[in-house]
């Protein structure tokens, strides 16, 4: 057998082995992806205590104004520095990959126990609004990651449908009348986000 022919045969066998390997491995890659992106929001938000049917009327959006963090670190800060006995001011925290997974939704104790938030200076609003904080400082150069926005859309859409919260009641912290706050920052893509919410009542 000529040397050239032998090389062609060896090359063909190599291609066959690589192709077979890819054929076997590829389905596992797609299955893994599918599992990763599926979040059961309803299951995540389920609580053991009773939920008053008309309690939650607003959703208020925040950023942490930090580059990193998670529900546990903010909880510690709010207990130790702010002296809030219920700890973490928000009901939910959505991670950016620095402190928790990118797009991970962490459920705070205030949601689990169905108690008021401490995320705005307006206590009346805190009683009836769900506080959601995205990790990051969107007033500086950063903006939320695509995974954070995706998780936020899922969470806000779920609450909007579950509690009949209209789009006009899904607001940025800066829209709440109080002494000026830029929260959740000028780079927070509010329009892009709110357009993807499909509540029962659009106004």
**Residue ranges binding Zn ion (CB under 5 A):** 62, 173, 183
Name the residue nearer to Zn ion (CB basis): 140 or 198.
140
In sign, the C-alpha dihedral spanning 61, 64, 68, 70 is negative
The minimum distance between CB 142 and Zn ion, in angstroms, equals: 15
Work out whether strand 92-96 and strand 58-63 pair parallel, antiparallel, or are unpaired.
unpaired
Would you call 61 helix, strand, or coil by DSSP? strand
Name the residue nearer to Zn ion (CB basis): 140 or 200.
140
CA distances (Å), origin 142, targets 146, 174, 186: 12, 18, 10
Name the residue nearer to Zn ion (CB basis): 165 or 183.
183
Distance between CA atoms of residues 128 and 159, nearest Å? 13
Work out whether strand 102-107 and strand 92-96 pair parallel, antiparallel, or are unpaired.
antiparallel
Name the residue nearer to Zn ion (CB basis): 62 or 91.
62
Judge contact between 104 and 95, C-beta under 8 A: yes
The minimum distance between CB 135 and Zn ion, in angstroms, equals: 12
The minimum distance between CB 30 and Zn ion, in angstroms, equals: 38
Judge contact between 191 and 155, C-beta under 8 A: no
The minimum distance between CB 53 and Zn ion, in angstroms, equals: 27
Name the residue nearer to Zn ion (CB basis): 125 or 165.
125
The minimum distance between CB 23 and Zn ion, in angstroms, equals: 50
When CB distances to Zn ion are compared, the closest residue is 183
């Amino acid at each position: 057998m000529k040397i050239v022919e032998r090389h062609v045969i060896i090359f063909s066998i190599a291609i066959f082995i690589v192709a077979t390997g890819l054929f076997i491995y590829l389905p596992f890659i797609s299955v893994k992806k599918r599992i990763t992106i599926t979040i059961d929001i309803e299951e995540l938000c389920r609580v053991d205590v009773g939920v008053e049917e008309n309690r939650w009327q607003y959703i208020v959006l925040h950023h942490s104004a930090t580059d990193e963090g998670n529900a546990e670190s903010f909880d510690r800060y709010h207990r130790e520095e702010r002296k809030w006995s219920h700890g973490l001011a928000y009901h939910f925290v959505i991670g950016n990959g620095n402190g928790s997974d990118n797009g991970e939704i962490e459920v705070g104790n205030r949601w689990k126990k169905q108690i008021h938030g401490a995320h705005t200076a307006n206590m009346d609003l805190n009683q009836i609004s769900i506080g959601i904080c995205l990790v990051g400082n969107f007033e500086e150069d950063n903006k939320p990651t695509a995974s954070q926005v995706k998780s936020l859309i899922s969470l806000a859409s779920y609450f909007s449908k579950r509690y009949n919260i209209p789009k006009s009641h899904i607001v940025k912290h800066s829209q709440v009348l109080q002494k000026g706050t830029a929260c959740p920052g000028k780079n927070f893509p509010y329009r892009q986000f709110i357009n993807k919410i499909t509540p029962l009542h659009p106004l």
